[in-house]
Copies of this chain bind each other. A is one copy, B any other.
């Protein structure tokens, strides 16, 4: 198993990425290899400083990186030697089993669609994010930004993608799907949710429980929370800011701790032909470690095959 990691992406790259990879390596078995893509010299210096051995990693050297501010499509096409471009090339060729980066989100999305491409039948891949549930564990919210405007059929696909993720990654049987809406009643909503509701209701392969509201995000009503990427992105950033406000005040609590993105490592892109994970720009070594462990879990669970079967 080859787990690809971009060491040039993220606000604290490459140090934070390399340190996180060192921590992750301790939990991997000998046949699970982390492939570090980026400036090899810098990476080796960071590793040597810790007194650890760089031998356990594979390196793919490049000094070119896509910056956070760059236009995704332009950057992917004009920088074929950037760490993100190289990662996707290797993923496409089968030289990697997964690819993860805390760098430019748009470039990760475009890169995955250009290289490994959408799974047949999936019209729009989605970025899914973990949402801590008050009682325990996580649900997922999707899409959180890949698709600002969605069709009803796309929301149905998100529901299927999210259900498979929750079922095979979090081992939740028959996960509950909720449509994020402005009221609980079936007749409530905007044009999009009005059109999506019957599609979700009719779909036998998912466990649709109906509309959920903004206040249901953290309770147990739904494991898979579906919305367009515009709404999802606003909800995600609002939730993050709330966590930051609580943390700033040193309010400590098991639930609020689980808000911390470091605990789950990153947001998978669901619906493409390989496990791809986007880490948070401010990823710490702990976040990177968990991003790598989530990569492994996505490979081991064969989530990509499971999604392919569901759409064929």
Interface residues of A (CB under 8 A from B): 134, 145, 148-149, 180-183, 189-191, 193, 213-219, 227-231, 233-242, 244-246, 249, 251, 253, 255
- Residues on B with beta carbons closer than 8 Å to the beta carbon of A253: 249
- Residues on B with beta carbons closer than 8 Å to the beta carbon of A237: 213-215
- Residues on B with beta carbons closer than 8 Å to the beta carbon of A182: 145, 148, 229-230, 233-234
Given A241-B217, A245-B218, A251-B249: A149 touches B234 (CB 8 Å cut-off): no
Shortest Cβ distance from A197 into chain B, in angstroms?
13
CA distance A237 to B180 in the complex (A): 11
A241 touches B215 (CB 8 A): yes
B236 touches A214 (CB 8 A): yes
CA distance A278 to B183 in the complex (A): 17
Given A134-B245, A149-B190, A182-B233: A238 touches B214 (CB 8 Å cut-off): yes
Shortest Cβ distance from A181 into chain B, in angstroms?
8
16 CB < 8 A contacts A-B:
A148-B182, A148-B190, A148-B191, A149-B191, A181-B230, A181-B234, A182-B230, A189-B230, A214-B238, A214-B240, A216-B241, A218-B241, A234-B234, A238-B239, A242-B242, A251-B251
CA distance A149 to B190 in the complex (A): 6
Across the A-B interface, the 5 shortest Cβ-Cβ residue pairs: A214-B237, A214-B238, A148-B190, A182-B233, A215-B241
B189 touches A148 (CB 8 A): yes
B190 touches A214 (CB 8 A): no
Q: Find A234's partner among B148, B180, B242, B255 (CB 8 Å cutoff).
A: B180
CA distance A218 to B237 in the complex (A): 12
- Residues on B with beta carbons closer than 8 Å to the beta carbon of A218: 241, 245
- Residues on B with beta carbons closer than 8 Å to the beta carbon of A244: 215
CA distance A97 to B283 in the complex (A): 55
A238 touches B251 (CB 8 A): no
Q: Find A215's partner among B189, B213, B230, B238 (CB 8 Å cutoff).
A: B238
CA distance A238 to B242 in the complex (A): 10
- Residues on B with beta carbons closer than 8 Å to the beta carbon of A239: 214, 238, 242
CA distance A180 to B235 in the complex (A): 11
Shortest Cβ distance from A249 into chain B, in angstroms?
6
CA distance A240 to B148 in the complex (A): 25
The chain B residue sitting closest to A240, CB to CB, is B215
Most B CB contacts (10 A, CB to CB) among A189, A215, A235, A239 go to A215
A214 touches B241 (CB 8 A): yes
Shortest Cβ distance from A216 into chain B, in angstroms?
8
CA distance A218 to B228 in the complex (A): 23
The chain B residue sitting closest to A237, CB to CB, is B214
The chain B residue sitting closest to A242, CB to CB, is B242
Given A217-B241, A251-B246: A230 touches B148 (CB 8 Å cut-off): no
A214 touches B233 (CB 8 A): yes
CA distance A252 to B300 in the complex (A): 44
